[in-house]
Structure 1
Amino acid sequence: MSEKRVEFGTALRTPYDVAASARRIEQLGFDIIGCGEHVSFYGDTANGFVSLSVAAGATTRAKLMSTITLVPLYPAALLAKMGAALDVASGGRYIMGVGVGGEFANEFEACNVPVNQRGSRTDDALEVVTQTWTGTNVTYDGRYTKLDNFSLKPLPIQKPRPPIWVSGRSDAAMRRAAKYADGWLPYMYTPEQLAKSIERIRAHGEEIGRDMSDVSFGLFIFTAVHEDNDTAVKYAADQLSIQ
């Protein structure tokens, strides 16, 4: 079991002034720059690959984590290519954060993806990503993806591959984390909920015979900072009501 230290990150919350924001985050000493995404949302949102690519060019040290990528909305091979390309472009700093989405059905309708297939499509994509990031001439016969002697060139810089962190709150997400993830990143969890989820993920890993000792665990926390407490509370409530 490798030695670990606690790392801290913060997310780019808007698609504007990305380079300046990323530089400031790195200058403040954060370990990770995160970025989420939506195709359609209540307000202005980024695309994670685009914003993290800008952040990569504006920084030299901080890791670049998608928090999260809406995996089922991407063709699996294209997702693998984009992740590999970002890892290469950033000098080996990319972390893929994985989520299934589904809270906003119009995103799925617009992308012609049935929302009830989001979990199975995510699992299919993770098989493609893990295989094509670690090998060449890949042949894969999945439910949604077929590969025949397929190779990504170049492969990611990080070996054996860039880390994959799974997000979510359900038992299905925990099983996905136990099978594929290097890290677990739930959101809107109490400390007690986080502890229970870690226990369940480790139990799921034991069921499939996976050594979970090197899997990391984190928590995505929403914050609102203002010199006036009531203002901060109101802002947080308004924002969280649409998450």
Structure 2
Amino acid sequence: AHTVTFSKGFALARSEISVAQFRAFVRATGYVTDAERDGGAMVYDELSGRMRMDPSANWRDGYNGQPAPGDLPVINISWSDAEAYCDWLSKATGKDYRLPSEAEYEYAERGGTTTPYWWGHGSPKQRVENLAGSLDRSPKGRRWDNSFRDYGDGYWGPAPVRSFLPNPYGLFDIDGNVSEWTEDCWHDNYVRAPGNGSAWVNPGCQNRVVRGSSWASTPDQALSAWRMDMPADLRSARIGFRVMRSL
């Protein structure tokens, strides 16, 4: 546990950045993502039921490497790609947008709750998030090995943003759908971590913190306190992002 007292307020986007929103950024800037420059992304393979590297997959594609509709959360993007979007949005709007810190994300995800999940304990009693549920089936009838018991949300792969109930703070898909990049560098523990809620960053760090669960996460990975260590150049069909700004 690590106690944080925020030094200033912040506003977090209510939903994950969509394919359509990311497309507007690419059209305005001509930006080329890491997946396009450096060999694709990790996508879901229905034949094996596992993630695999697809050398052609990029932000235009969905979890299975096929073209994605505009209302899906953008995936297959690196931490640097997410940062580039924030920089563009800041210049375009005159406001300072960035990725949330790890502390800001957990505070927002909890939505004022102290339970293991923002909806309470164990499997949700109603469709609250796009999670790995025991009632979910893949296109070929696959099931999850480790999932929320007696839960089904109707999706195998990401759902359009805002498809499910918001948490108590009005945030959609804050736990589920896709996991999300944060600003922080990865540290094994919170010793010497900032106490004001700001991101803990070391120059040149190679790994960043990913928060929130995805459509394929196990129940323990959906815990509000769960954190993941991911290479900053990773492109995955399970990771996207949302933006925030300080107030």
When the two structures are superposed, what TM-score results if normalisation uses the length of structure 1? 0.26
Q: Which has the higher contact order (CA 8 A, sep 6+)?
A: 2
More helix by share: 1
The structure number with the bigger radius of gyration is 1
